[in-house]
Amino acid sequence: MGVEGIGARVTRKEDKRFLTGKGRYTDDMSVPGMKHAFFVRSPHAHARIRSIDVSAAKAMPGVIDVLDGKQLQADGIGNLICGWMIHSKDGSPMKMGAWRPLAHEVVRYVGDAVAIVVADSSAEARDAAEAVVVDYEELPAVTESLVALEAGAPQLHPEAPGNLIFDWQIGDPDATDQAIASAAHVTEIEIHNNRLSPNPMEPRATLGIYDTGDDHYTCYTTSQNPHVARLVMSAFYNVAPENKLRVIAPDVGGGFGSKIYIYPEEIVCLWASRKTGVPVKWVSDRTEAFLTDAHGRDHVSKVKMAFDADHRIIGLKVDTIANLGAYMSLFSSCVPTYLYATLLSGQYAIPAIHANVRTVYTNTVPVDAYRGAGRPEATYLLERTMETAARELGLSPAELRRKNFIRSFPHQTPVIMNYDAGDYEASLDAAMEAVDWKGFSARRAEAETRGKKRGIGMSCYIEACGLAPSAAVGSLGAGVGLWESAEVRVNAVGTIEVLTGSHSHGQGHETTFAQVVADRLGVSIDSVNIVHGDTDKVQMGMGTYGSRSGAVGMSAVVKALDKVEAKAKKIAAHLMEADESDIVIENGELKVAGTDKTVPWFQVALAAYTAHNLPSGMEPGLKETAFYDPANFTFPAGCYIAEVEIDPETGKTEIIQFVAADDFGNIINPLIVEGQVHGGLAQGIGQALLEDVKYDRETGQLLTASYMDYAMPRADDLPFFKLSHQNTPCPGNPLGVKGCGEAGAIGSPPALMNAITDAIGDNSLTMPATPMKVWQALQTAH
Amino acid sequence: MAKVTLTVNGRTVSGECEERTLLVHFIRDKLGLTGTHVGCDTTQCGACVIHMDGKSVKSCSILAVQASGSSVTTIEGLSSQRELHPVQAAFKEHHGLQCGFCTPGMVMTAVDMINRHGGKLDEATVRHELEGNICRCTGYHNIVKAVLSANAEMQAGRQAAE
Using CA of residue B137, residue B142, residue B146, residue B148, what is the dihedral sign?
Answer: positive
Residues in chain B: 162
Q: Which residues contact A75 (CB under 8 A, 6 or more apart)?
A: A271, A275
Q: What is the pLDDT of residue A45?
A: 98
- Report the alpha-carbon distance of residue A82 to residue A297 in Å, rounded: 17
Longest dimension (CA), chain A: 87
Bond preceding residue A414 cis, omega within 30 of 0 = no
Q: What is the pLDDT of residue A184?
A: 98
Q: Kindly list the distances between the CA atom of residue A299 and the CA atoms of A597, A697, A747, in Å, as whole numbers in the listed order.
A: 65, 17, 17
A202, A283 in Cβ contact below 8 A?
A: no
Q: Kindly list the distances between the CA atom of residue A741 and the CA atoms of A228, A507, A551, A592, A687, in Å, as whole numbers in the listed order.
A: 20, 8, 11, 41, 16
Q: What is the pLDDT of residue B119?
A: 81
Instruction: Say whether pLDDT at A300 is over 80.
Output: yes
A554, A735 in Cβ contact below 8 A?
A: yes
A25 in reach of chain B (CB within 8 A): yes
Rounded (10°) CA dihedral A144, A145, A151, A155: 80
- Report the alpha-carbon distance of residue B113 to residue A418 in Å, rounded: 51
Neighbour count for residue A391 (Cβ, 10 Å): 18
Q: What is the pLDDT of residue A368?
A: 98
User: A 726-765 residues with CB below 8 A of B?
Assistant: 744
Contact B41 A202 (CB under 8 A): no
Which residues from A are below 8 Å from B78, CB to CB? Answer: 20
A361, A162 in Cβ contact below 8 A?
A: no
- Report the alpha-carbon distance of residue A318 to residue A345 in Å, rounded: 11
A311, A400 in Cβ contact below 8 A?
A: yes
A641, A618 in Cβ contact below 8 A?
A: no
Could you say which of B41, B81, B138 has the minimum Cβ distance to residue A678? B138
Closest by CA position to B25, among listed A200, A38, A285: A285
Q: What is the pLDDT of residue B161?
A: 83
3-state secondary structure of A544: coil
Instruction: Say whether pLDDT at A182 is over 80.
Output: yes
Nearest CA in chain B to A673: B95
3-state secondary structure of A157: coil
The string of DSSP letters for A202-243 reads SPPEEEEEEETTTTEEEEEE--S-HHHHHHHHHHTT-S--GG
The burial class, CB within 10 Å (0-12 / 13-18 / 19+), for B162 is exposed
User: A 633-672 residues with CB below 8 A of B?
Assistant: 671-672
Nearest CA in chain A to B88: A19
Q: What is the pLDDT of residue B158?
A: 85
Predicted-complex ipTM score:
0.98
According to DSSP H, which parts of A414-508 are helical?
424-435, 440-449, 470-475
- Report the alpha-carbon distance of residue A172 to residue A311 in Å, rounded: 21
Give me the architecture of the A483-628 domain, per CATH: 2-Layer Sandwich (3.30)
Q: How far out from the chain centre does Cα A210 lie? A: 31
Contact A201 B39 (CB under 8 A): yes
Q: How many CA atoms lie within 13 A of B9 on its CB side?
A: 17
Q: Name the CATH superfamily housing domain A31-139+202-253+259-292.
A: Aldehyde oxidase/xanthine dehydrogenase, a/b hammerhead (3.90.1170.50)
Contact A21 B104 (CB under 8 A): yes
Cα-flanking dihedrals φ and ψ of residue A107, to 5°?
-105, 145
- Report the alpha-carbon distance of residue A279 to residue A283 in Å, rounded: 13
User: A 225-284 residues with CB below 8 A of B?
Assistant: 251-254, 256, 283
As separate numbers, helices (DSSP H) first and strands (DSSP E) second, chain A gives 20, 28
Contact A14 B128 (CB under 8 A): no
Contact A252 B99 (CB under 8 A): yes
3-state secondary structure of A370: coil
Q: What is the pLDDT of residue B159?
A: 86
Contact A20 B126 (CB under 8 A): no
- Report the alpha-carbon distance of residue B161 to residue A519 in Å, rounded: 42
Instruction: Say whether pLDDT at A427 is over 70.
Output: yes
Instruction: Say whether pLDDT at A780 is over 90.
Output: no
B107, B87 in Cβ contact below 8 A?
A: yes
Which residues from B are below 8 Å from A19, CB to CB? Answer: 75, 84, 88, 91-92, 97, 100, 103, 107
B57 in reach of chain A (CB within 8 A): no
A207, A279 in Cβ contact below 8 A?
A: yes
Mind listing the pLDDT tens digit for each residue in A472-496? 999 999 999 999 999 999 999 999 9
Mind listing the pLDDT tens digit for each residue in A39-49? 999 999 999 99
On average, the pLDDT of chain A sits at: 97
- Report the alpha-carbon distance of residue A465 to residue A547 in Å, rounded: 6
Q: What is the pLDDT of residue A782?
A: 58
A515, A10 in Cβ contact below 8 A?
A: yes
N-term to C-term CA, chain B: 49
Contact A201 B74 (CB under 8 A): no
A557, A517 in Cβ contact below 8 A?
A: yes
Contact B95 A718 (CB under 8 A): no
- Region A582-600: what's the mean pLDDT? 95
Bridge-partner residues for A357, per DSSP? A168, A320
Q: Name the CATH superfamily housing domain B2-77.
A: Beta-grasp domain (3.10.20.30)
The string of DSSP letters for A651-685 reads TEEEEEEEEEEEE-BS-S-HHHHHHHHHHHHHHHH
Instruction: Say whether pLDDT at A1 is over 70.
Output: no
CATH 1.10.150.120 domain residues, chain B: 86-161
List the A216-221 sheet strands across, edge first.
Answer: A63-68, A113-119, A35-41, A280-283, A205-211, A216-221, A245-248
Q: What is the pLDDT of residue B162?
A: 79
Q: What is the pLDDT of residue B81?
A: 67
Pairing of strands A411-412, A496-500: unpaired
Q: Which residues contact A282 (CB under 8 A, 6 or more apart)?
A: A36, A37, A38, A39, A116, A205, A206, A207, A265, A269
- Region A217-242: what's the mean pLDDT? 97
Pairing of strands A35-41, A216-221: unpaired
pLDDT band at A752 (very low <50, low <70, confident <90, very high): very high
Q: Does domain A299-467+632-781 have CATH number 3.90.25.10?
A: no
A593, A583 in Cβ contact below 8 A?
A: yes
Residues in chain A: 782
3-state secondary structure of A246: strand
Angle at which helices A555-575 and A601-610 pack, to 10 degrees?
Answer: 80
Bond preceding residue A749 cis, omega within 30 of 0 = no
Q: How far out from the chain centre does Cα A27 lie? A: 23
- Report the alpha-carbon distance of residue B27 to residue B13 in Å, rounded: 10
B69 in reach of chain A (CB within 8 A): no
Cα-flanking dihedrals φ and ψ of residue A493, to 5°?
-95, 5
- Report the alpha-carbon distance of residue A645 to residue A756 in Å, rounded: 8
The kind and range of the H/E element at A628 are strand A623-628
Could you say which of A253, A683, A718 has the minimum Cβ distance to residue B100? A253
Cα-flanking dihedrals φ and ψ of residue A254, to 5°?
85, 155
Residues of chain B with pLDDT under 70: 81
CATH of segment(s) B86-161:
1.10.150.120
3-state secondary structure of B53: coil
Could you say which of A25, A507, A708 has the minimum Cβ distance to residue B101? A25
Cα-flanking dihedrals φ and ψ of residue B61, to 5°?
-110, 20
Closest by CA position to B134, among listed B48, B63, B62, B70: B48
Nearest CA in chain A to B35: A21
CATH 3.10.20.30 domain residues, chain B: 2-77
A269, A22 in Cβ contact below 8 A?
A: no
- Report the alpha-carbon distance of residue A604 to residue A626 in Å, rounded: 21
User: What amino acid occupies position A640?
Assistant: Y
Closest by CA position to B135, among listed B6, B46, B7: B46
pLDDT band at A443 (very low <50, low <70, confident <90, very high): very high
Could you say which of A17, A201, A678 has the minimum Cβ distance to residue B101? A201
